[in-house]
Structure 1
Amino acid sequence: MRVVVGRWDTSPYGAFADAMVETAAGHRVLVAPSQEVADFVAATYSFDEVRIEPVTIDGWRFTSPSLAVEVETGARTALGRALRLVPARVAESPAWCTLTDPVARVVMRGVRTRGSAGGGRREYYGATDNHALVAARGSFDGVDLGALAPVDPPPRFGFSSTPRRPSVTTVVTTVRG
């Protein structure tokens, strides 16, 4: 099972958290705190099912009626150290994301820093930090998420995937159009 938790500190809908889950069978589920957020996220990414549920986020713990996940982060990775060398204002800009996309495609299979957000919109991921995960616990629909393992195959939510090594990446997402 693959889980991507989004913690949006600022957005057109205020601060919120959501989660994208892909089961071992390939079923893609969005867990969102409101219909408004679900509509925005589902217009950007692909899901087989959308669930509107109360969501809480407390540090590195995400909880909803169907999903509970808690992670422990480790040291900043080599990628994180490299990302921290780039000034945030530059790293977060769509121009930088466009420039770094060919490198990301080669260095990290499946990872993209720009692509289609659906409906004629473009999306840019400005990564500014990365930390390894050292532990994760949780369940989805009462089923244990299992042990940490390489993210393989990559999740199929949108144009980009996650790094193969389980991690926490700080990303500024820009959607235009």
Structure 2
Amino acid sequence: MSALLPQHFAVTEAVVVAAGAFAMARTARINAWWAVGIAPFMLAALVGTIRISAGLAGEFELAHQFLSRAGAVFGLGCMIGVMAGRARWLAPVLGGAAGILAVLIPGAMVPTFLALTLVGAWLAYRAADRQARLVAASFTVLLIGRLATDPLRAAHPALAWHLFHLAVALWLLLLAIIVIPRLRAR
């Protein structure tokens, strides 16, 4: 997307901000690293909302892209570290390693995102009891949203933008309502 966007693009960014704030508030009480993992998604949307609403470009656009890409893999790494539950230091180390990898080797960002999402779904499935499929499927909504909207980006960029951001918001809500509470017992 280019620097100056129509104002309606800020609407679904704001929806992600609201969903992210709710998810962070709900998960911070369970494990602070869950909230830290969610933060880049919410912050990217907040920067996007401000950038689009105020008609800003340049540094705001770069901050939005950085948080949306490198921040996302950092956040997923933190979440996977919490879900693995082996040691307290695993979440920041895995998140940091994923974020650094995404910055130093930009071509590794998509495979890292895919791998972290699939590992997260697998860990969610293993950790959940009676509703394991629902929990694992809920964790993959972000990936499903990405895969479903990528083909639309060239022909229908506005539709792809809005659908992807609504998928991110749904994913954040599902994390807070379905995934994380069912993993809480770990």
* Interval of TM-score (by shorter of Structure 1 and Structure 2): under 0.3
TM-score by length of 1: 0.27
Q: Compare the two structures and name the one with the higher helix fraction.
A: 2
Q: Compare the two structures and name the one with the higher strand fraction.
A: 1
TM-score by length of 2: 0.27
